[in-house]
Amino acid sequence: MKIFINDIPVNIIDSQESIDQEYFHYEIDASKDAIVKNRLIHHVLIRNMTTPYLDDLLNSLHTYALNNLYSLTITSQEFDNIIAFIKKKYKVIKAAGGVVRKRSKVLMIYRLKKWDLPKGKIEKGESAKTGAIREVEEECNIKVKLKQKICATYHTYTMKNKDILKKTTWYLMDCIDDSQKKPQIEEDIEELKWMTSKEIHHALQNSYRSINHVFNRLYEMKK
């Protein structure tokens, strides 16, 4: 399971899975080592994770600005308990969105000073597919046709003093009508732009790591 906490990718895997240790700059043993901020830099591996240690770690990730922490990988013999703990700690909200194609270009939105993809909360009784289409069409004032699922992302944020875990299901879509295209100002969207691959590459430098992940999964699908 991968969760983006303060836009930091946190990979949670079972301790029995193999990993490439050469990838990591620091290795921490949760059964022996305390959380030290100056060791949370670059790519970090934490072994033998327990729920109390994870609780302290999550609080640290939400408290400190860890700008030099590029990724965090957690292994645990209590994998199921760790996942259950995370889902209990956060209020889970489900959302859906899309990567909309028009010939060789993709529609990006500019919201809250970052480039993003259109998405939004799924309404009660609504499927992820239906919610994805509705949100994209509402935020961009276009008409789309749903294609295949790309992936699901998980990211955290705080709203009204509550810790939120948002699961967003992403779909590939084709634009069938953008003649009335305009940004939904009520959702803080300032601009819509059809981008080439080169433009997307530059835009993703001012985006979220979770959005980068969506594009990486999309590119893998095309191989």
Residue 34 shares a structural domain with residue 113? no
Which has the closest alpha carbon to 208: 117, 122, 119?
117
Report the predicted TM-score, pTM, of the whole model to 2 decimal places. Answer: 0.91
Look at residues 28, 55, 89 and tell me which one is the last residue of a structural domain. 89
Q: Which two tokens stand for residue 16?
A: 């029995």
Residue 78 shares a structural domain with residue 155? no
Residue 150 shares a structural domain with residue 97? yes
Look at residues 50, 69, 89 and tell me which one is the last residue of a structural domain. 89
Q: How many CB atoms lie within 10 A of CB 184?
A: 18
Q: Which structural domain, as residue segments, surrounds residue 22?
A: 2-89
Residue 96 shares a structural domain with residue 179? yes
Residue 208 shares a structural domain with residue 106? yes
Residue 130 shares a structural domain with residue 169? yes
The CATH number of whichever domain residue 197 belongs to comes to: 3.90.79.10
Which has the closest alpha carbon to 98: 144, 53, 66?
144
Which has the closest alpha carbon to 19: 52, 45, 41, 48?
45
Angle, helices 51-63/79-89, rounded to nearest 10 degrees: 40
pLDDT in tens for each of the 223 residues of the chain? 899 998 999 999 998 888 888 899 999 999 998 888 888 999 999 999 999 999 999 988 888 888 899 999 999 999 999 999 998 999 999 999 999 999 999 999 999 999 999 999 999 999 999 999 999 999 999 999 999 999 999 999 888 888 899 999 999 999 999 999 999 999 999 999 999 999 999 999 999 999 999 999 999 987 6
Check if the beta carbon of residue 160 is closer than 8 Å to that of residue 109.
no
| Extended strands (E) in the chain | 2-5, 8-14, 26-29, 42-47, 69-76, 91-102, 105-111, 114-116, 119-121, 143-159, 162-177, 189-195
Residue for token digits 């990730």?
61
Residue 60 shares a structural domain with residue 95? no
Length of the chain: 223
Check if the beta carbon of residue 195 is closer than 8 Å to that of residue 105.
yes
Q: Over the stretch 53-106, which tens digit does the pLDDT of each residue have?
A: 999 999 888 888 888 999 999 999 999 999 999 989 999 999 999 999 999 999
Rg (CA), the chain: 19
For CA atoms 34, 37, 68, 188, the dihedral sign is: positive
Residue 83 shares a structural domain with residue 100? no
By CB neighbour count within 10 A (0-12 exposed, 13-18 middle, 19+ buried), where does 165 fall? Answer: middle
Look at residues 41, 69, 89 and tell me which one is the last residue of a structural domain. 89
Number of domains making up the chain: 2
Check if the beta carbon of residue 47 is closer than 8 Å to that of residue 21.
no
Residue 205 shares a structural domain with residue 95? yes
